[in-house]
Amino acid sequence: MAQPSLTRIAYQTLQQGKGLVGLAHKGISTKLMELLIPEAIPETSPITTDLLLELRDSAKSLEEIDWLEAERGLYPKNLLFDVPWIEWFFKYPLVWLDMPSTWKRRKKKHFQDLPKTINKENYPDYYLQNFHHQTDGYLSDHSAELYDMQVEILFNGTADAMRRRVISPLKEGLELGFSSNNFANYKVLDIATGTGRTLKQIRSAIPEIELVGLDLSTSYLKQASKYLNNYQKSELVQLVKGNAERMPLLDNSFHAITCVFLFHELPSKARQNVLKECFRVLKPNGSLILADSIQINDSPQFTQVMENFYRIFHEPYYRNYIKDDINLRLTDSGFVSIKANSFFMTRIWSATKPS
């Protein structure tokens, strides 16, 4: 058997290190919350040793797929190591400083503690939440600056590996749906783009492609612009403020659409509205690639993990989402050739707008 390369060993070591940091952070912060504000501790079901082992095996499978797809050339191997360590080093203390206010919101069940400067009429009601008990929800520069690091901690260093699962079906959809062999002729939209992490993954894999990101948060779009548009050798990514239920975009204008970690934060009606809008703005033969949480139907072995998730974090629509039939919603919206696969905590759907 061939020995793993130094690059692979380095990647495995990085993933193990990020996992340990995530576990340590959650363990210490939980102990502190128990000591300082015990009333804020949510009621959860204890995770068994067997379930922990199953989670570990699933995470290892994700790591294996991530490495193999880089080996196959779907994206460069340096993307596996794309972590802004220096930036996060200086921001990490802010995560701890933010915790007391987070604990107080948990205790008081105060879920709409948002900046007073925002005009609430500009946002749908379901968006005006402190998702994950996050300070300011998604509506401040402070929130946008900490978000990526908080998500990496939440998923024990696997967030980017899960995001990268959209790349293979995205490339496949473009190659099967359109005749051009030049990716520069294609235009891809990422909805709920947030800080632009998914767009960064796509651009690294397909540097010549035209990219557009859409999000409701000005603060997150500003963070995405800093993150994406400071490379002189890369084309500018167009960033648009808008609601995915009513996108300010033309019919039949994109060859593909990606959407990562949005649907579990939408009420059911909004999910359907977003899918209909995706169908509208896609070109015939265009592909929609969705990435979101696993669901009870496809990953029943992790039901306890999913149920604990909405108990620990403020995710008001997650309980409905994990029982929702996304395949049926895609069909009802007009999509065909629907495929779905699960990778650790993420489910990936791909679907096509018929010609």
The domains of the chain are located at 172-352
The DSSP secondary structure of 148-170, one letter per residue, reads: HHHHHHHTTT-HHHHHGGGHHHH
- Contact yes or no for 219/140 (Cβ under 8 A): yes
Q: What is the pLDDT of residue 181?
A: 83
Strand partners of residue 246 = 243
CA distance 23 to 20: 5
Strand partners of residue 191 = 214, 259
115: left (phi over 0), alpha (psi -120 to 50) or beta: beta
pTM surpassing 0.75? yes
Residue whose pair of structure tokens reads 């994950």 in the numeric block = 132
> Tens of pLDDT along the chain (355 residues)?
567 899 999 999 999 999 999 999 999 999 999 999 999 888 899 999 999 999 999 999 999 999 999 999 999 999 999 988 888 989 999 999 999 999 999 999 899 999 999 999 999 999 999 999 999 999 999 999 999 999 999 999 999 999 999 999 999 999 999 988 899 999 999 999 999 999 999 999 999 999 999 999 999 999 999 989 876 566 789 999 999 999 999 999 999 999 999 999 999 999 999 999 999 999 999 999 999 999 999 999 999 999 999 999 999 999 999 999 999 999 999 999 999 999 999 999 999 999 9
CA distance 208 to 204: 9
β-strand pairing of 346-352 with 282-293: antiparallel
Residue among 263, 257, 248, 261 nearest 279 (CA)? 257
90: tokens are 């200086």
Residue 74's CB is within 10 A of a number of other CB atoms, namely: 18
Which top CATH class is 172-352? Answer: alpha beta
Say whether 221 sits in a helix, a strand or coil.
Answer: helix
Q: What is the pLDDT of residue 272?
A: 98
Tens of pLDDT, residue by residue over 62-91, are 999 999 999 999 999 999 999 888 889 899
315: tokens are 């995710």
Residue 233 CA, distance from chain mean position:
26
